[in-house]
């Protein structure tokens, strides 16, 4: 009886494993070591991932903004020229040609820059889709100029690209008219529809970029 009582007292004084664990975890040295590991490994890793995500997001938003601004201003400028608005608003007999030259130069320069960035950050597939679109829009810009040699070829190239232009349904006579003139309401209607189709296609390319992984991040 006395032995059992002594044994019970010893067991009562023996610390439980919960207590030992609590004591071990509250050890100041352990807390310091864990805090140091978190500070030197985990937190910088999380911070770096967040910064990479932010950088990738900046690249995407910056590029799609550049794409949208460049395409919309090019389509609008082309329509202004094709409708004769630039010629009628300028006293300079070469005003329209100067405006067209500036528009063409801005678009081709911007398009090439965007294409290079898309290739670097999103790969050849996205860049190739942009290049095909860029070629079609370049032909569209050229159709706003006074008809000259090569116009039929420009229309043919847009015609070959037509399946990628949402909502564009032109009749054969309209395609022929685009290749022959830039005057008249029928031409303006067809040319305007092509412009809307190009803008719609640009929106698709923007979504493609936003849904793609940014290389290196």
Q: In a structure prediction context, what are the per-residue pLDDT tens digits for the chain, which is 217 residues long?
A: 545 554 555 555 555 656 665 665 566 766 677 677 666 776 666 666 767 668 889 999 999 999 999 999 999 999 999 999 988 888 888 999 999 999 999 999 999 999 999 999 999 999 999 999 999 999 999 999 999 999 999 999 999 999 999 999 999 999 999 999 999 999 999 999 999 999 999 999 999 999 999 987 7
Predicted pLDDT at 150:
93
Enumerate residues 6+ apart whose C-beta is below 8 A from 30: 24
| Among candidate residues 65, 42, 39, 58, the one with its CA nearest the CA of residue 216 | 58
pLDDT of residue 17: 59
Q: Are residues 98 and 197 in the same domain?
A: yes
Domain span including residue 36: 17-46
Domain finish residue from 46, 61, 87:
46
pLDDT of the residue at 19 = 61
Q: Are residues 103 and 185 in the same domain?
A: yes
Q: Do 158 and 140 contact (CB within 8 A), yes or no?
A: yes
- Among residues 3, 33, 212, the alpha carbon closest in space to that of 123 is found at 212
Hey, what are 130's tokens? 């942009």
* pTM summary value: 0.78
Residues 31 and 109 in one domain: no
Whether 10 maps to a domain, the answer reads no
CA 7 from centroid of its chain's CA atoms: 76
- How far apart (Å, rounded) are the C-alpha atoms in residues 160 and 29? 73
**Integer angstrom CA distances of residue 46 from 51, 53, 215:** 9, 11, 19
30 and 129 part of one domain: no
pLDDT of residue 97: 95
Task: Return the closest-CA partner of residue 155 out of 143, 141, 138, 172.
Answer: 143
Give the closest residue to 204 by CA, choosing from 169, 168, 167, 164: 164
Q: How many domains does the chain contain in total? A: 2
């Amino acid at each position: 009886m006395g032995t059992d009582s002594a044994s019970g007292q010893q067991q009562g004084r023996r610390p439980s494993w919960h207590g030992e664990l609590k004591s071990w975890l509250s050890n100041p040295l352990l807390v310091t070591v864990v805090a140091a590991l978190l500070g030197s490994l985990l937190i910088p890793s999380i911070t770096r991932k967040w910064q990479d995500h932010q950088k990738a997001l900046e690249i995407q938003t910056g590029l799609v903004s550049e794409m949208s601004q460049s395409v919309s201003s090019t389509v609008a400028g082309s329509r202004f020229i094709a409708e004769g608005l630039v010629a009628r608003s300028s006293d300079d007999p070469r005003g329209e040609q100067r405006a067209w030259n500036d528009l063409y130069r801005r678009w081709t320069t911007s398009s090439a820059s965007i294409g290079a960035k898309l290739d670097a950050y999103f790969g050849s597939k996205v860049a190739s889709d942009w290049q095909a679109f860029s070629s079609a829009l370049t032909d569209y810009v050229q159709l706003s100029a006074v008809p000259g040699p090569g116009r039929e070829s420009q229309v043919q190239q847009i015609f070959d690209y037509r399946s990628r232009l949402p909502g564009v349904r032109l009749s054969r006579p309209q395609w022929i008219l685009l290749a022959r003139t830039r005057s008249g309401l029928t031409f303006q209607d067809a040319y305007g529809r092509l412009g809307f189709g190009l803008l719609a296609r640009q929106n698709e390319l923007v979504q493609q970029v936003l849904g793609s992984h940014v290389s290196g991040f």
